[in-house]
Structure 1
Amino acid sequence: MSLEQQLIERLEQLCPTHLDVVNESSGHGGYFPGKESHFKAVIVSDVFAGLRLVQRHQKIYAAAGDLLSPGKIHALAIHAFVPEEWKNQDTTSPECAHAPKA
């Protein structure tokens, strides 16, 4: 099973009303076809209610577990919201300075 699919399954434990996991590896240095190293997770869940941003991230790190270990996911951009915060949020990722040049 791909790292992306494993990450999705683990984040589904947080009962999201919206979950979008994007493999952004191709926009980073050292990319080759099939590489899975850089991801973005946009997750909207009531489990984040009353939590500070760092606490939301800690819940996501705990759910991802060993997927964030060396040789697996190198970087995870996190956008964690409660449903009331989600509307009109920009979760666009910046371009990596080490991205392959066309």
Structure 2
Amino acid sequence: MMKNNERWSLIHERLVHAFSPRHLEVIDESDQHIGHAGHQGGGRHFAIVIDAVSLKNLTRIEAHRRIYALFTDIMPDQLHALKIKIL
């Protein structure tokens, strides 16, 4: 099982490598999910805010698909939820 800081780093590194964003925030929102069915402790709920040229001309659905595709190997075991905001 990954530690929370390892998850954060993995998410950040994959997004930077794939999209070279001009702006990127990776936010651990796990504390907002305490008591919810998907919460199993540790940081498994994240939000990202990203501004990347390579996502600009895509539909919102396609941009989200490309982002989610980066994490299929760790969802849902290591990453339960990912909220995405594209600037």
TM-score range, shorter-chain basis?
A: 0.7 to 0.9
Q: Could you tell me which residue of structure 2 aligns to residue 79 of structure 1? A: 85
Identical pairs, percent: 33
Mark the structure with the bigger radius of gyration. 1
Q: Could you tell me which residue of structure 2 aligns to residue 54 of structure 1? A: 61
State the Cα distance separating 1:50 from its structure 2 match: 1.5
State the Cα distance separating 1:32 from its structure 2 match: 7.7
- Gapped runs of 5+ residues in structure 2? none
- TM superposition score normalised by structure 2: 0.79
State the Cα distance separating 1:65 from its structure 2 match: 3.3
Q: Is 2:57 aligned against 1:44?
A: no
- TM superposition score normalised by structure 1: 0.69
- Gapped runs of 5+ residues in structure 1? 82-102
Conserved? CA contact 1:22–1:41, under 8 Å: yes
Matched residues in 1 for 2:77 and 2:40: separation?
A: 15
What do you get for the CA RMSD once the two structures are aligned?
A: 1.8
State the Cα distance separating 1:42 from its structure 2 match: 0.4
